[in-house]
Chains A and B, each alone.
Chain A
Amino acid sequence: MAQPYVKKDDDRDEEAEYSPFLGIEKGAVLQEARVFNDPQLDPRRCSQVITRLLYLLNQGETFTKIEATEVFFSVTKLFQSRDFGLRRMVYLMIKELSPSADEVIIVTSSLMKDMNSKTDMYRANAIRVLCRITDGTLLTQIERYLKQAIVDKNPVVASAALVSGIHLLQTSPEIVKRWTNEVQDAVQSRAALVQFHSLALLHQVHHILIGECNEPILCKWRNPSGSYLKLNFDDISSGNTGLSVVVDALLEGLNNSGPVPEDNFLNIRQNDRLAVSKLVTSLTRGTVRSPLAQCLLIRYTSQVIRESGVNTQSGDRPFYDYLEGCLRHKAEMVILEAARAITELSGVTSRELTPAITVLQLFLSSSKPVIRFAAVRTLNKVAMTHPMAVTNCNIDMESLISDQNRSIATLAITTLLKTGNETSVDRLMKQITNFMSDIADEFKIVVVEAIRSLCLKFPLKYRSLMNFLSNILREEGGFEYKKAIVDTIVILIRDIPDAKESGLFHLCEFIEDCEFTYMSTQILHFLGIEGPKTSDPSKYIRYINNRVILENATVRASAVSTLAKFGAMVDSLKPRIFVLLRRCLFDSDDEVRDRATLYLNTLRGDGSVVETNKDVKDFLFGSLDVPLVNLETSLKNYVGDLPGSLSALPVTSSSHMCMIWIQEPSEEPFDIDSVPKEVKSQPLAEKKGLGKKPTGLGAPLSGPASTVDAYGKMLSSIPEFSSFGKLFKSSPPVELTEAETEYAVNVVKHIYEGHVVFQYNCTNTIPEQLLENVIVIVDASEAEEFSEVSSKPLRSLPYDSPGQTFVAFEKPDGVPAVGKFSNMLNFIVKEVDSTTGEAEDDGVEDEYQLEDLEVVAADYMLKVGVSNFRNAWESMGPDCERVDEYGLGVRESLAEAVNAVINILGMQPCEGTEVVMSNSRSHTCLLSGVFIGNAKVLVRLSFGIDGPKQVAMKLSVRSEDQAVSDAIHEIVSSG
Chain B
Amino acid sequence: MANFSTYQESHPSIKNILLLDSDGKRVAVKYYSDDWPTNNAKLAFEKSVFTKTQKTNARTEAEIAMFENNVVVYKFSQDLHFFVTGGDDENELILATVLQGFFDAVALLLRSNVDKREALENLDLVLLCLDEIVDGGIPLVAYSTIAVGLLMPTTFLAAATWQQAIGGHEYYCCGMILETDASVIAGKVATHSMDAAAPLSEQTITQALATAREHLTRSLLK
Contacts and interface: CB of A to CB of B under 8 A. Distances in A.
B139 A98 contact: yes
A212 to B, nearest CB: 11
Given A100-B164, A119-B196, A370-B62, A203 B10 contact: yes
B64 A370 contact: yes
A934 B9 CA distance: 48
Given A163-B135, A170-B138, A156 B176 contact: no
Interface stretch (B103-111, B144-152, B154-162): B154-162
B135 A167 contact: yes
A205 B92 CA distance: 27
A839 interface: no
Contacts of B128: 88-89, 92
B192 A85 contact: yes
B64 A58 contact: no
Interface in A342-377: 367-371, 373-374, 377
Given A119-B196, A296-B12, A20 B135 contact: no
Given A84-B195, A122-B196, A337-B91, A134 B160 contact: yes
B10 A336 contact: no
B129 to A, nearest CB: 11
Contacts of A50: 124
Contacts of B39: 60, 62
Contacts of A92: 127-128, 131
B127 A167 contact: no
Majority-rule SS of A interface residues? helix
A120 B200 contact: yes
Contact of A20 (B28, B57, B121, B127): B121
B135 A84 contact: no
Interface string B22-44: 00001011000000000100110
A136 B162 CA distance: 12
* Residue among B159, B160, B195 facing the most chain A CB atoms (10 A cut-off): B160
Contact of B201 (A122, A155, A197): A155
Given A85-B193, A156-B200, A369-B64, A60 B43 contact: yes
A336 B91 contact: yes
Contact of B26 (A58, A95, A203): A58
Interface string A190-206: 00010011001001100
A370 B93 contact: yes
A160 B157 CA distance: 22
Nearest to A411: B66
B68 to A, nearest CB: 14
Interface string B92-121: 111111000000000000000000110011
A133 interface: yes
A407 B64 contact: yes
A59 B29 CA distance: 8
A336 B96 CA distance: 13
Nearest to A139: B158
B196 A84 contact: yes
Given A121-B188, A367-B61, A133 B160 contact: yes
30 contacts: A21-B120, A47-B124, A54-B124, A54-B127, A58-B127, A62-B39, A84-B192, A89-B124, A98-B139, A100-B160, A101-B164, A132-B137, A135-B158, A156-B188, A156-B201, A163-B135, A163-B137, A167-B176, A171-B138, A200-B10, A207-B6, A303-B10, A368-B96, A370-B62, A370-B63, A370-B64, A370-B92, A405-B56, A405-B64, A407-B65
Sort A-B residue pairs by CB-CB distance and give the 5 closest, nearest first. A333-B93, A60-B39, A167-B137, A374-B92, A85-B192
Given A20-B123, A121-B200, A135-B158, 7 more contacts: A54-B123, A118-B199, A119-B196, A171-B140, A333-B93, A337-B91, A370-B63
Interface of A: 18-21, 47, 50-51, 54-55, 58-60, 62, 82, 84-85, 88-89, 92, 95, 98, 100-101, 104, 118-122, 128, 131-136, 153-156, 159-160, 163-164, 166-168, 170-172, 193, 196-197, 200, 203-204, 207-208, 210-211, 291-292, 295-296, 299-300, 303, 332-333, 336-337, 340, 367-371, 373-374, 377, 404-405, 407
